[in-house]
Amino acid sequence: MASPLSPGEPCSRSNFRYSELIPNSNTESCHTRHKLRAVYHTLEDLLAATKRFPDENCAREVESRIRYHAKPRGSLGRLEALAIQLAGVQRSTKPAVKPRLVQMFCSDHGVSSEKVSIFAPETTISVAKAALAGCAGINAFAKTVGCDVEVIDVGMRRGNIDLRGVNNLAVREGTANIIYGPAMTREEAKLSIVSGANAHRSAVARGYKATIIGEVGNSNTTAASALLSSLTGFAAEDVVGRGTGAEGVMLERKVSVVKQALRVNSPMIDDPIDCLAKVGGFELGAMAGAAISAANCGVPCIVDGFISTISALLALRLAPDIWPSLVFSHRSDEKGHKMVLDLLEVEPLLALSLRLGEGTGGLACLPLLDLACSLIHGISTFDEAGIDSPYKESSI
C-alpha cells in the first residue's frame, strides 16, 4: 500500500481518522484492522495480549531458501539473519518494511533544573516544533530513507503553546525532580507505557509495517542513566555519559545527581514499574509500551540509541517474549549504551558514533532492512538459476 504521508512529512493528530481503523471488506487486512480498533485500557491488558511469537515455519522457510541461494553460503552475513528475523516477526516469507514510521516521543524532566545538560529546558519543545515543521534532524533522515514522522507529546511542558500536528498523549506536563522524590506516581508510570502502546497500535492499524522508537527530552540521558542503574544495579559513575555534551564540572554534577536520585528514591530492582516511577521519564515508559505493542502486532520495532535501548530493557523486564521483534539499530557514543547492549548480548547493526537521538540511528539502518527483505526472493536458488550446487545436500 502507499504510505499515508509523503516521506519525512510530520504526522499530525488530524491524520488520525478513526474511520481508517474501520474494517474495509475490500482489503486483505480487514480482520487485522478490526482487531486493532480496540485499545489497551490498562498495563495488564497490554501484557495479557503479549502472546504473539515469531512464526518458526516462515523463519525456517526463509532460512532454507537463503541456504540454497546461488552464492557462497553466509556470504551476506548479518543481512541473512536479519531477513530470517523479519520473516518470523511478520509471519511472512515475504517480509516488508514499507511503509514505515518513526515515532518521536517527547517529554520534559524535572531534573533539568539541576543543570545536567548544556541546553536549556525549553529545548524539548523547540525540537518538537522543528520536527513538526519538517526541519529537524529526524526529518532530514526520514525524507532520505522514505519514512514518515510522528511527533507524540507524552509529557512536555508547553502550557498554552499550540503545537499543531502533535499527537497529544501527555500524561502530565513533565516529571518531578528525581533528586527530591519520585519522577511520577506508579499509575502515571503505567499510563505512560499504555499510551505508547496505543500510539503504536494505531500506527499499525493505519498500515505501517515497521516502526522506530525515538525520543526528545531535555536531560533525559540523566533519567535514562538512573533507570538503567535501578534496573541493573550498575553504578552511576559507570553508566552516566556526556549526553548532549556535558563535560568537566557538569558531568561530575550529572553523576552526583543520579547517585542522589537513587539514594533518595531507593527503586526496587525487581520491580520495573517502581524503577520507572521513581527515576524514569514519560517518554521512556511510552517507548517501552510501543516496543511491547510491536511484538503483539507482529511488526519489527527498531530501537534507536541509548535512551531507546533503556526503554527496550524496561519492556523486556515486563514482557520477555517480545525479544525477537526488536532490531537494535546502532551503538552510540553514550557511555551506558555499550553496557546495556553487552548486558542484552546484542550487537547492533551500525556503530557510527551517533548520539543525537530522535530516532536518527534507527532511520540510518532502514536501508539495511530493505536489503534484508529484498535478498530473500531477489536472489535465485541454485536450481532456479540452473547452476550445479557445490554443496552436497539436495536443494529445496
> Which residue numbers are catalytic?
358
Beta bridge partners of 96: none
Task: Write the DSSP string, 119-143.
Answer: S-TTHHHHHHHHHHHT-SHHHHHHH
Distance CA 66, CA 112 (A): 50
Using alpha carbons, select from 157, 134, 175, 159 the residue that is nearest to residue 6: 134
Distance CA 186, CA 194 (A): 13
Beta-carbon contacts of 320 under 8 Å, excluding residues fewer than 6 positions away, are none
Q: Residue 55: what residue type?
A: D
Longest C-alpha distance within the chain, in Å? 71
Using alpha carbons, select from 71, 98, 66, 69 the residue that is nearest to residue 82: 66
Distance CA 75, CA 237 (A): 41
Cell numbers 514510521 correspond to 101
Cell numbers 511478520 correspond to 90
CA atoms within 13 A on the CB side of 55: 17
Cell numbers 531477513 correspond to 83
Strand-pair category, 10-11 with 210-216: unpaired
Distance CA 8, CA 102 (A): 9
Question: In what helix (H) or strand (E) does residue 151 lie, and over which residues does it extend?
Answer: strand 148-155
Beta bridge partners of 67: none
